[in-house]
Structure 1
């Protein structure tokens, strides 16, 4: 009997791409991951996820399923489920109901990550720094609520959707210097996402960093990226073009200087949100050198042009081997693990252990 792996993703054509669907994986990312997984001694069953019924029917038709590799954020038939957190939770709850091990975060962790106000509340109960913030369940703010935001957060203020990732709804208009800016941005978010919750936080103008934590028994911090400070807002459009500017990134060792401080924060966040397999978080540094966590992503992009791909490339780890490492982390002690996957895991683990020797401080 073959060992079957579900590969669950969201993909739409460029012609059908809208703002709310921008987190969907590209056809290149989908094919790259599918091909890599097929090399791990699994029969890969791909599913471009439309709805819950499709997922259940696929599982029942192909049962038994050994494990699932999940990068889908929700259901394409319900676009809001891709960014409001409901889809990510439902996918994992369905897999758990069939006792299928899966990659990436648990339902609880995804609830934390897909609701930025909840992320801040969880982290705010620790010593981890977060921006001053206030959230509202709707962008229809009254005069009283605007005043409340101005008093509790103050200007300059940064406005973004409370749900979603990949910088959805974030652009230069997100930085608000006054009431007029605030009203304009709120109107834009309402037009893009309807009655979705919004988050208002203090704007931090310093350097921005992104860092990933991988693994379970012994979580490891990957090389940390410091982005050039030539743009104020890393919008979706800016991120799409960053691949061409990688030479301007600064890599920090997670064992030295500011990188060590960031790594310590990242591991505390990983523990605080009960992370599994991998998370990526973004931080900004203020004028005094204080580091603030501004976002946590439970299913970081595995695009070849994304930050995680660049981090593992600097360690001479291929995306294929990295996916094998993740699959082993999920399946060991639970399901079938081929000798090949175990060997890949050992090889990647050695490179992760020597991460400090592979980057430029």
Structure 2
């Protein structure tokens, strides 16, 4: 009997977060519910592997030191404590010589830094809202602003919309100083202040695969009508629990979807992502897409982006997820069972 490959599953669930007294209320928002780990484990089994649930990076370190052996590993661990936190598990795996599904430590650290990512996107010839970085409110003046109001403020090294509240969209210099002060004090890091793009809606593009990567169907996101901020950002874990009104501005035309997919694929390749990522865009009133962020550690929660895409494609989520995981497993030399093939849905750059 052939022993299935053992694939370590590295993850943070909400109960793994180690709270400090001065942490913001959404400090654990990037962590996952147990259901995400369950669906990933099931997808790995469908691929013919044996999932080994490890837990967070610190547990991985302990088990590796104790002699834990793995054929490969898949990490969705966000970590905590530094701008390199998403790289903690990948670095441990690299040191141990364990092949890793997904992007490597360098890509994960680069993409968590919104300012560095925007620099690289501009060098690739793509649009992103004009921005600047502030380390505190004292340095803010009219001359230092990246664009006319309205502007948008967000932490430089956070994901899952951490720090964003309705007041993060600002229309005056005083409001900007207040919001920069709030975020830098609460999150103890620089903030990005960027032009707020309005008029054409907000969209998300999931990209999977390598050689070539492929963009899956584009999702259009609801926004809160009073501020224009994406509802998903206001509804994150740790945010005030309320029902938000929403609207869905703009139209996802065939030409816009083509442009969004093309830009997403070019950014995915520029950042040297592997296997999967999710990219967010805003579109202005003239129909021009502006890149916001890329996340090579997207959620695989049963109610997240990939589950919604599976529903749009009339696919069972566990089936699509197994095919997405099969992409990286094949790259690592772990070939899935014959009834699970690497995902070939979506479009490549050559097809656009």
TM-score relative to the length of structure 1: 0.82
Task: Please say if 1:202 is aligned against 2:195.
Answer: yes
Is 1:22 the counterpart of 2:16 in the alignment? no
Match of 1:345 in 2: 341
**Which residue number in structure 1 is paired with residue 22 of structure 2?**
none
Aligned residues: 334
Give the deviation of 1:291 after TM superposition: 1.0
Question: Which blocks of at least 5 consecutive residues in structure 2 are unaligned?
Answer: 20-24
Alignment equivalent of 2:170, drawn from 176, 191, 200: 176
Higher RCO, 1 vs 2 (CA within 8 Å, ≥6 residues apart): 2
More helix by share: 1
2:133 maps to 135
Q: How does 1:1-361 map to 2 (within 5 A)?
A: 1-13=3-15, 18-49=25-56, 51=58, 54-61=59-66, 63-74=68-79, 79-81=80-82, 84=83, 86-136=84-134, 138=135, 140-142=136-138, 144-150=139-145, 152-193=146-187, 195-206=188-199, 207-231=201-225, 232-234=228-230, 235-238=232-235, 252=252, 256-332=254-330, 334-338=332-336, 340=337, 342-345=338-341, 348-349=343-344, 351-352=345-346
After the TM superposition, which of the residue ranges 170-179 and 59-68 deviates more from structure 2? 59-68
**Contact 1:103–1:326 at 8 Å: present in 2 too?**
no
Contact 1:204 1:284 in 2 (8 A): yes
TM-superposed CA distance for 1:331, in Å, is: 2.8
| Equivalent position SS for 1:326 | helix
Distance 1:117 1:63, change over 3 A: same
Offset of 1:187 from its aligned partner?
2.6
Asked if the contact 1:315–1:352 (Cα under 8 Å) also holds between the matched residues in 2, the reply is no
Paired with 1:173 and 1:56, the residues of 2 have a C-alpha distance of 40
**Preserved contact between residue 208 and residue 284 of structure 1 (Cα < 8 Å):** yes
Give the whole-Å Cα distance in 2 for the aligned partners of 1:293 and 1:353.
19
Q: 1:110 to 1:31 in 2, by over 3 A?
A: same
Counterpart contact for 1:37–1:324, Cα < 8 Å: yes
Q: What does the per-residue CA deviation read over 1:120-168, in whole Å, with 9 as the maximum and x for residues that have no partner? A: 00001122001110013x3x332x4444432x33321110001121111
TM-score using structure 2 length: 0.84
Shift of 1:313: 2.3
Give CA deviations for 1:43-63 in whole Å, capped at 9, x if unaligned: 222122152xx3133235464
Distance in 2, Cα, partners of 1:215 & 1:89: 20
* Contact 1:223/1:251 (8 A) holds in 2: no
Query: How many Å apart are 1:273 and its aligned residue?
Result: 0.9
Cα distance change of structure 1 residues 292 and 147 upon mapping to structure 2, 3 Å threshold:
same
Q: Deviation per CA, 1:321-359: give whole Å up to 9, x if none.
A: 333223322232544324x2x43125x43x5479xxxxx
Please state whether the residue corresponding to 1:58 is helix, strand or coil. Answer: helix
Q: Distance in 2 between matches of 1:246 and 1:218?
A: 36
Q: Do the aligned residues in 1 keep the contact of 2:300 with 2:307 (CA within 8 Å)? A: yes
Q: 1:245 to 1:198 in 2, by over 3 A?
A: closer
Secondary structure of the residue that 1:80 maps to in structure 2? coil
Pair 1:229–1:41, CA change in 2 (3 A):
closer
Q: Please say if residues 225 and 249 of structure 1, whose CA atoms lie closer than 8 Å, have aligned partners that are also in contact.
A: no
